[in-house]
Amino acid sequence: MTELEKRCVADCRQLLARVRRKHPRPYGVPAEVIKEAIALAGYTISFEEMEDESDLAHCDAEERRVVVAKDFGLKLDCPWVAHQVLNFTLAHELGHARLHAPLLRSGEWHPHWEEEATFYARVFLIPHYILYNRPELDRLLDTRREQQPDRWGNVLELAETFHVSGKFMAHTLDAYGILHLDTDTRTITFPGEA
Based on C-alpha coordinates, what's the Rg of the chain?
Answer: 17
Q: Is the pLDDT of residue 79 over 70?
A: yes
Is 86 in the same domain as 155?
A: no
Range of the domain at 190: 128-194
Q: How many domains does the chain have?
A: 2
Q: Please, which pLDDT band fits residue 194 given cuts at 50, 70 and 90?
A: low
Is 59 in the same domain as 148?
A: no
> Do strands 180-182 and 187-189 pair parallel, antiparallel, or not at all (unpaired)?
antiparallel
CATH number for 82: 3.30.2010
Q: What is the pLDDT of residues 23-68, one digit of tens each?
A: 988 899 999 999 999 999 999 999 999 988 889 999 999 999 999 9
DSSP H stretches of helix in 106-134? 113-125, 128-131
Q: What is the pLDDT of residues 111-126, one digit of tens each?
A: 888 999 999 999 999 9
Q: What is the pLDDT of residues 127-172, one digit of tens each?
A: 999 999 999 999 999 888 888 888 999 999 999 999 999 999 999 9
Residues 6+ positions from 131 with CB-CB distance below 8 Å: 137, 158, 162, 176
Is 151 in the same domain as 114?
A: no
Give the bridge partners for 188, in sequence order.
Answer: 181
Is 75 in the same domain as 94?
A: yes
- Dihedral sign computed on CA atoms, order 185, 130, 92, 116: negative
Is 117 in the same domain as 142?
A: no
Is 121 in the same domain as 134?
A: no
Report pTM.
0.93
Is 52 in the same domain as 104?
A: yes
Q: What is the pLDDT of residues 11-31, one digit of tens each?
A: 999 999 999 999 988 899 999
Residues 6+ positions from 75 with CB-CB distance below 8 Å: 54, 56, 69
Average pLDDT, the chain: 93
